[in-house]
Amino acid sequence: MSDRTPVQNAELALLLEVTGTPKPGNVDRDREFSDLRFEHFMAGAVGARPGLERAGAGDRLGRAFERAVAGMADQSAGNTQFGALLVLAPLVAAASDGELTPDFVDSVVRGTTVDDAADFYRAFEHVDVAVDDPPDGLEPLDVRRGSDAVPVLEARGLTLFDVMEQSADVDGVAAEWAGQFERVFAAAERILADDGPVSERASRAFVELLAEERDTFVVTRNGPEAAEEVQRRAKAVLDGDEDAAELADDLVERDINPGTTADLVAGALFVALERGLVV
Amino acid sequence: MSDRTPVQNAELALLLEVTGTPKPGNVDRDREFSDLRFEHFMAGAVGARPGLERAGAGDRLGRAFERAVAGMADQSAGNTQFGALLVLAPLVAAASDGELTPDFVDSVVRGTTVDDAADFYRAFEHVDVAVDDPPDGLEPLDVRRGSDAVPVLEARGLTLFDVMEQSADVDGVAAEWAGQFERVFAAAERILADDGPVSERASRAFVELLAEERDTFVVTRNGPEAAEEVQRRAKAVLDGDEDAAELADDLVERDINPGTTADLVAGALFVALERGLVV
């Protein structure tokens, strides 16, 4: 078993996530965009570290997340790992408390406060994150308002868990917060049961998650039809009817980027590393 | 200017070094060996961090290096970044003291003690590092003896700087220690003056360093003729008479690995990051 701390494993999970290839539609070791390159993910992971350290030290979870995002954004390409950090922060907090289980992570996220929610909103001031317009009546809580929304959070007494629960239907990361990180823990077990290089396991876990549910980031940016197409073609890859590398090239070409699925892979790699995945 | 600390920049330099491609003969984003893969370099960089933090905190330099090597070796492929850490440790110490200049780094390495030398020998117990047989009369100081050599170091009053100076003719990293890190600082300036993605600048800096002098790691592992061939072909790449990617494939195929040159690139990337290289 490695001597790495949970914070080190979280950083390594971010690095291994982007190392996995092919990860259809996402930046990986073989594919990048001219304005969002592999090197930006390296700098994002290193920059996020002080925030992850706060999560590991038991600081307020929202604040730890906001600091991780601020550090992640300290590179020239903007958002690289916002969603992945939102997955990782509670997992690191739970692991550092010695209990990386669905029940305990659930208690961590349910223990968040209105202050954590305010931190979460502030985190959106560091980077542009593609999000849906809020549902009718929830405009005052549009995350794009950043800290301007904090008085509304306070007036309504909304914790970070409440905020995530409200978005669980439309955001795959929020769904993990609201649902005991079920898909993350399941994917971690598949990664552990898999064999071969970690980068290949990460790629396979990515395609499996992609085939399992529509990627909510694709729904937001490219619409539900694109998300359904991606899910269908990921299933075809698993069935051997489509080539993962070709799917990857096509999605990159069309700027269809299943970012939420990548966020879940980062979480799954973290859990797998904590449970003994050998690199 | 980034808010990253020198320790963060050192870790990022390790990651960017292996991200650069092509780096003829070395593991890079596009080339790896079945038993020494890209992912091992990610884990090596993350594992080295606690040792780099010691260097940044002003701990004894040899001890910081030995801890960095111990953490780097906490992955399944053995040695990934031993030489790079030997380059980085004094640079991080100097930068953390606020003065990353050739003169100040020189004073840092000249300030090492016999205890630092003992730490350096202990570091060889964590990984197998390819080294030459020592010259006649220096067998008691063979680094492969690890801590068994410590009484000899103490009896002779050899500091870590003394040890490096003795090896400067046959080891490119030791030559940097003995010579004010001249090639590292010069390469850093070339990286800063270059343009384009950092991974491409790293690749170009690598080829330039390779063309400039024989790689001592290649001399050790493959002999002087191979090292001369590599230098000659790197010059041909610079002259446009040979393709860098083809040279890379050929050297990987023949297991000719200019590792010392990669170590210098890691150091140069660190200096460039500290001097404002934007990622």
Q: Is B47–A71 a contact, with Cβ atoms under 8 angstroms apart?
A: no
* Chain A interface, best mutation among B12, B35, B42, by max A CB count within 10 A: B42
How many other C-beta atoms can be found within 10 angstroms of the C-beta atom of residue B151? Answer: 11
How many other C-beta atoms can be found within 10 angstroms of the C-beta atom of residue A16? Answer: 29
Contacts of B47 in chain A (CB under 8 A): 2, 4, 8
Chain B residues touching chain A at CB-CB below 8 Å: 2-4, 8, 11-12, 15-16, 19, 29-30, 37-40, 42-43, 45-47, 49, 71, 74-76, 197-199, 278-279
Contact (Cβ atoms closer than 8 angstroms) between residue B66 and residue B120: yes
How many whole angstroms separate alpha carbon A8 and alpha carbon B50? Answer: 10
CA-wise closest residue to A42 among A18, A61, A25, A66:
A18
Q: Is A279–B40 a contact, with Cβ atoms under 8 angstroms apart?
A: yes
Helical axes A102-110 vs A160-167, angle rounded to 10°? 110
Q: Rounded mean pLDDT of chain B?
A: 96
CA-wise closest residue to B122 among B144, B140, B137:
B144
The complex scores an ipTM of 0.96
Q: What is the DSSP letter of A36?
A: B
pLDDT, tens digit only, all 279 positions of chain A: 899 999 999 999 999 999 999 999 999 999 998 899 999 999 999 999 999 999 999 999 999 999 999 999 999 999 999 999 999 999 999 999 989 999 999 999 999 999 999 999 999 999 988 888 888 888 899 999 999 999 999 999 999 999 999 999 999 999 999 999 999 999 999 999 999 999 999 999 999 999 999 999 999 999 999 999 999 999 999 999 999 999 999 999 999 999 999 999 999 999 999 999 999
- How is chain B split into domains, by residue range? 6-274
Contacts of A197 in chain B (CB under 8 A): 37, 39
* Chain B interface, best mutation among A12, A46, A49, A269, by max B CB count within 10 A: A46
Which residues, 6 or more positions from B274, have their beta carbon under 8 angstroms from its beta carbon? B6, B9, B95, B100
* Chain B interface, best mutation among A5, A88, A279, by max B CB count within 10 A: A279
CB burial readout A244-258, b (16+ within 10 A) else e = beebbbbbbeeebbb
Residue with tokens 């892979």: A265
Q: Is A198–B279 a contact, with Cβ atoms under 8 angstroms apart?
A: no
CATH 1.10.3720.10 fits A6-274, yes or no: no
Q: Is A42–B76 a contact, with Cβ atoms under 8 angstroms apart?
A: no
How many whole angstroms separate alpha carbon B179 and alpha carbon A75? Answer: 33
Q: Is A38–B16 a contact, with Cβ atoms under 8 angstroms apart?
A: no
